[in-house]
Amino acid sequence: QVQLQESGPGLVKPSETLSLTCAVSTYPISSGYYWSWIRQPPGKGLEWIGNIDHSGSTNYNPSLKSRVTISVDTSKNQFSLKLNSVTAADTAMYYCARSAFGSYSDYWGQGTLVTVSS
């Protein structure tokens, strides 16, 4: 059973940078798979943000690409999300997940709510 746990500030001011980390347990990131960030605004659907593999190769949602950076630290078995120049529209539950190439996400973190407000 792969376990993922998101952490980071629950409140971010407009125009600042949202930073989250996902700690992975019981499965080495270096063993494979893609590691994804997915978000869900309150009352709305899921939105794929992007993913990264163990080598650091990334793919991003075109609508967020200019503001997003996903990185991986295999020594700590964790990966991170940075989203800059945030606005109220970035308020959402943010999930990290393990994903097969191009395909499904089989293990998810519990999610962390990030609110953008001054």
Partner 1 sequence: QSALTQPASVSGSPGQSITISCTGTSSDVGGYNYVSWYQQYPGKAPKLMIYEVSNRPSGVSNRFSGSKSGNTASLTISGLQAEDEADYSCSSYTSSNTRVFGTGTKVTVL
Interface with partner 1 by CB under 8 A: which residues?
36, 38, 44-48, 50-51, 59-63, 95, 99-100, 102-106, 108-111
Closer by beta carbon to partner 1, 43 or else 118: 43
User: Between residues 38 and 81, which has the closer beta carbon with respect to partner 1?
Assistant: 38
CB of 40 to partner 1, least distance (A): 9
Residues paired with 93 in a beta bridge: 40, 113
| C-alpha to C-alpha distance for 18 and 113, rounded to whole angstroms | 11
Task: Provide the minimum distance between the beta carbon of 116 and partner 1 in the complex, in angstroms, as a whole number.
Answer: 20
Best CA proximity match to 112, nearest among 2, 49, 38: 38
16 vs 47 by CB, closer to partner 1: 47
Q: What are the C-alpha distances in Å from 3 to residues 19, 30, 33, 89? A: 20, 15, 14, 29
Q: Which is nearer to partner 1, 27 or 108 (CB)?
A: 108
CA dihedral 13, 14, 16, 22 (to 10 degrees): 70
Residues in Cβ contact with 59 at an 8 Å cutoff, skipping those fewer than 6 apart? 50, 51, 52
Closest distance of CB 33 from partner 1, Å: 13
Q: Smallest distance from the beta carbon of 16 to partner 1, in angstroms?
A: 26
